[in-house]
A and B are shown apart, each in its own frame.
Chain A
Amino acid sequence: MNPELSTAAPADLNLYLFVAAVLFVSGIVCMATKRNGIGVLMGVELVLNGANLNFIAFGRFTKLGIDGHVLSLFVIVLAAAEAAIALAIALNFYNNHLSIDVDRADSLSG
């Protein structure tokens, strides 16, 4: 690869921070407004991705370096684990209530 091209930063840190913030907020709004349990899960994935993007961007532009990559790998793995458990819970919920609407999970409310 042309060294001139590969080492030059194509965009600055702020662009990545901006994208990460939008992903994060989209995820939060998704979690708050979706009534479908799996939709809520997708919101969580978006939030985690926003965080990941920040890790990688800071790893590239600051001294964090390769540690950022390691941290985001951990985040990806834990997100997969979280998705598996949450999906199992969703299936269980569906088995019991014949619906995936999280607003109907109110057995514990007084």
Chain B
Amino acid sequence: MNWLAQQLDNLAWMAHGGAVYVFAAMAIVCALAVVFTHNVVRMAFWLILCLAATAGLFFSLNADFVGAAQLLIYVGGTLVLLIFGVMLTASGPFLQMRTKPGEMVLGGVVGLALLGLLLSSALAVRWGERSPVLASEVVGAGFNPVAEGNTTRELGLKFLGASSRDLKTGRGELSAGYLLPFEIVSVHLLVVLIGAAYLARTKRRKQPADSSGDSRSAALSA
């Protein structure tokens, strides 16, 4: 019985840490699949899985609100939009536009070089030493909404320029907050809405040649 409990305990630890690695592996594999797939709809499918795995990573980082926003806006909104676009622009049933192998190789080499550069510079820094104020202090004991992923109120306060830590300690010099950027983004969204509607509105399609236009008008009159 004791042995079983011990095994279960180990398994729990592994499951807890392992979920993060599963999400990380899934994100990486799906991102690579997006690159190497030629069919656009399959690319969209892999992208869904990749973004969902990234949302899982957000949840593992106690960023519940951002994770849910990622699922709602990216996967539920943007990707549906993309697939809509695929359907409206596809000329064949399962559209494929092959990249030339040379381009692919060149892209791959440049990509690998960039990856090497990024990784070598990012992993060379000892983040723990550079920034000694790590999670233990940021998410202090007893008053700890972020540690459990309950970031909603914290985010709301942040938009107003406060933080619960300021309120708690009374060192409350309220900063400017993110209200102005928020307003700018909302106006930006409105502009985008109008702009997209203007750009995408139905226009007369440019006829490749006169003959097709004639046949079309003939078909209409018939």
Contact = CB atoms under 8 A, between A and B. Distances in A.
A15 B78 contact: no
Interface in B87-138: 88-91, 95, 97-99, 103-104, 107-108, 110-112, 114-115, 118-119, 122-123, 127, 131, 133-135, 138
Contacts of A88: 195-200
B34 to A, nearest CB: 6
Interface residues of A, number: 77
B193 interface: yes
Contacts of B205: 95-96, 98
User: Most chain-B CB neighbours within 10 Å: which of A39, A78, A101?
Assistant: A39
B20 A10 contact: yes
B9 to A, nearest CB: 12
Interface of A: 1, 5-7, 9-11, 13-19, 21-30, 32-39, 41-43, 45-46, 49, 52-53, 56-57, 59-63, 65-67, 69-70, 72-74, 76-81, 83-85, 87-92, 94-96, 98-101
B47 A29 contact: no
A83 B82 contact: yes
A46 B34 contact: yes
16 contacts: A10-B16, A10-B20, A11-B21, A29-B107, A32-B111, A35-B98, A37-B89, A42-B34, A45-B47, A61-B134, A72-B63, A87-B81, A87-B84, A87-B196, A95-B205, A99-B91
Contacts of A36: 40, 95, 97
Nearest to B23: A19
Nearest to A34: B99
B206 interface: yes
Contact of A17 (B44, B122, B131, B185): B122
The majority secondary structure among interface residues of chain A is helix
B165 to A, nearest CB: 9
A106 B26 CA distance: 37
Given A21-B122, A79-B78, 17 more contacts: A1-B148, A16-B61, A25-B111, A30-B35, A37-B89, A39-B43, A49-B74, A53-B54, A62-B134, A66-B154, A69-B63, A73-B69, A74-B181, A76-B70, A85-B192, A85-B196, A100-B97
B97 A101 contact: yes
User: Most chain-A CB neighbours within 10 Å: which of B16, B40, B63, B148?
Assistant: B63
Given A77-B189, A80-B73, A87-B85, A9 B135 contact: yes
Contact of A7 (B51, B74, B147): B147
A89 B89 CA distance: 12
Contacts of A30: 34-35
B199 A92 contact: yes
Contact of B54 (A1, A23, A28, A73): A23
- 3 A-B pairs with the lowest CB-CB distances in the bound complex, closest first: A88-B199, A29-B111, A26-B31
B35 A21 contact: no
B138 A63 contact: yes
B7 interface: no
User: Most chain-B CB neighbours within 10 Å: which of A1, A34, A63?
Assistant: A34
A49 B110 CA distance: 20
